[in-house]
């Protein structure tokens, strides 16, 4: 709260820092909230499935890859001509100061899958979303003596003064896949960590060639300013053993933006059993770690688990919780695979109401978006105080069967 005084020591000017708000986007429009509980609809909206804010500029992308930009607190949007068709957009501010001693300008990043080659691309913008340059190429086809493998992007994050790209990489089609991570502190040069999750890309499975393997994947990264630590979320999926499948959602933490090698720490480990009882397992279990955000000394994250038993139908669970003190709990369930769980974020200026009689409410609120994308299209925004249960506060419908999004920044209509 900076203030000025006149010569008689009388206060004549007080400047209160602007608070940030939540911006939620779904098929029913865009909504803003200062606390995650009450929501006000914007007069103008774009159907964004990914949102990022930096230096008073919002950038969002839609299901068709269109990229929009707003300079007035998400009140009005303009289409960015010539921008790549992104899957996801994030932002970050590089650490340090410029030559004038001021904070360095913010940078935006987005990623996409190429339409005319076997590559994934990451682009960055150094001028707040107006122009974009390619900064990283992930080759989807990885050649090796044991046959072609693959690498592909799972997630893009921007936090703690860096960008992070999480991938799954198999040196051959038979090898144990690894969760790899690439980071950039300036949005121009990306470097790869030695290894985040997995046994090593050139390790063949112990069962030999052509046998089922464990797959490792690297997902999103979050940063907590309270502890100044980074957390990356990934998962691994074991092959069926009889009528049972075992899977783990895992995380690894680091004091720097460059993660060391290791498999991380398992925080969700479950056993899925075929409803057919003693019969051999006839389906699969698809697990994804979907989003992570840091704040108040902890990290919120989510997981989606789809169980496809073929003859016995499909069921999907979306869960949200905290690492490591509050394991993920159900926020939505569906009889089919169409659930989206995404866009975890933290608003340090928001204050939530008590969630339990012993909880008096704390500054700083986590939020996420979850949808079932069937005909009912139930879902919306969920919020939680650190370590508490996520509770639904806004109902909405998904965007073109790919879910919605939520971000934190300054809005112009609240």
Q: In the numeric block, which tokens belong to residue 47?
A: 């159907």
Give 65's Cβ-side CA count (13 Å radius). Answer: 11
Quick: pLDDT tens for 191-208.
999 889 988 877 776 665
Is the pLDDT reported for residue 302 higher than 70? Answer: yes
Position 99 scores a pLDDT of 85
The two tokens of residue 277 are 């009882």
For 414, the token pair is: 């609240």
Give the percent of the chain with pLDDT over 70: 87
**Can you read off the two tokens belonging to residue 124?**
């960055």
108: enclosing H helix or E strand:
strand 107-113
Residue 281 confidence (pLDDT): 67
What are the tokens at 18? 């602007």
The predicted structure's pLDDT at residue 200 = 80
pLDDT higher than threshold 60 for residue 3: no
Q: Contact, 374 vs 398, CB < 8 A?
A: no
pLDDT at position 4 over 70 = no
Closest CA to 78 of 106, 59, 63, 51: 59
pLDDT band at 142 (very low <50, low <70, confident <90, very high): confident
For residues 50 and 342, which has the higher predicted lDDT (pLDDT)?
A: 50
Can you tell me whether residue 404 is helix, strand or coil? Answer: coil
Backbone phi, psi, residue 312, to 5°: -105, 10
Q: What share of the chain is helix, strand, coil (3-state, %, to 5)?
A: 0, 50, 45
Distance CA 38, CA 179 (A): 38
pTM, two decimal places: 0.91
**d(Cα 234, Cα 248) in Å, to the nearest integer?**
9
Query: How many CA atoms, within 13 angstroms, populate the side-chain half-sphere of residue 117?
Result: 7
CB 382 within 8 A of CB 393: yes
Kindly tell me the burial class for residue 152, based on how many C-beta atoms sit within 10 Å of its own C-beta (0-12, 13-18, 19 or more). Answer: middle
Q: Is 204 exposed, middle or buried, given 0-12, 13-18 or 19+ CB atoms closer than 10 A? A: middle
Mean pLDDT of 43-68: 94
- For the stretch 78-117, pLDDT in tens is 999 999 999 999 999 999 988 888 889 999 999 999 888 8
Rounded-to-integer distance, Cα 170 and Cα 68, Å: 35
Confidence of residue 352 (pLDDT cuts 50, 70, 90): confident
CB-count exposure of residue 89 (10 Å: 0-12, 13-18, 19+): buried
User: What are the phi and psi torsion angles at 194 (to 5°)?
Assistant: -55, -50
CA distance 224 to 168: 25
Task: Provide the residue ranges of all domains of the chain, joining segments of one domain with +.
Answer: 21-409
Judge whether 319 and 328 are in contact, CB under 8 Å.
yes
Task: Read off the tokens for 64.
Answer: 């068709």
CATH fold label, 21-409? Neuraminidase (2.120.10)
């Amino acid at each position: 709260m900076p203030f000025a005084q006149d010569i008689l020591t009388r206060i004549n000017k007080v400047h209160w820092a602007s608070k940030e708000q939540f911006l939620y986007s779904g098929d029913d429009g865009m909504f803003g909230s200062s606390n995650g509980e009450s929501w006000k609809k914007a007069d103008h909206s774009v159907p964004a499935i990914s949102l990022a804010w930096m230096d008073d500029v919002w950038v969002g992308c839609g299901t068709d890859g269109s990229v929009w930009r707003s300079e007035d607190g998400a009140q009005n949007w303009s289409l960015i001509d010539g921008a790549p068709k992104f899957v996801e957009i994030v932002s970050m501010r590089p650490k340090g100061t410029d030559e004038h001693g001021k904070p360095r300008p913010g940078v935006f990043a987005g990623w996409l899958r190429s339409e005319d080659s076997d590559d994934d691309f990451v682009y960055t913008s150094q001028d707040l979303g107006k122009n974009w340059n390619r900064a990283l190429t992930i080759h989807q086809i990885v050649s090796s003596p044991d046959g072609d493998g693959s690498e592909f992007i799972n997630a893009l994050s921007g936090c703690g003064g860096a960008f992070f790209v999480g991938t799954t990489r198999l040196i051959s089609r038979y090898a144990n896949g690894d969760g790899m991570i690439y980071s950039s502190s300036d949005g121009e040069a990306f470097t790869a960590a030695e290894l985040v999750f997995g046994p090593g890309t050139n390790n063949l499975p112990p069962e030999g060639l052509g046998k089922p393997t464990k797959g490792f994947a690297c997902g999103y990264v979050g940063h907590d300013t309270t502890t100044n630590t980074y957390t990356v979320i990934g998962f691994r999926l074991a092959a069926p053993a009889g009528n049972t499948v075992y899977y783990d959602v895992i995380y690894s933490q680091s004091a720097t933006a460059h993660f060391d090698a290791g498999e991380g720490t398992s925080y969700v480990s479950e056993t899925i059993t075929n409803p057919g009882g003693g019969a051999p397992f006839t389906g699969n279990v698809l697990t994804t770690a979907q989003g992570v955000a840091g704040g108040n000394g902890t990290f919120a994250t989510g997981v989606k688990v789809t169980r496809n038993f073929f003859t016995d139908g499909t069921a999907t669970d979306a869960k949200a919780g905290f690492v490591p003190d509050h394991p993920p709990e159900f926020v939505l369930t569906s009889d089919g695979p169409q659930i989206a769980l995404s866009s975890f974020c933290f608003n340090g200026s928001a204050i939530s109401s008590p969630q339990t009689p012993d909880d008096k409410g704390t500054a700083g609120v986590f939020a996420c978006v979850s949808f079932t994308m069937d005909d009912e299209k139930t879902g919306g925004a969920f919020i939680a105080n650190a370590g508490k249960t996520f509770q639904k506060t806004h109902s909405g419908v998904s965007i073109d069967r790919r879910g919605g999004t939520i971000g934190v920044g300054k809005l112009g209509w609240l």
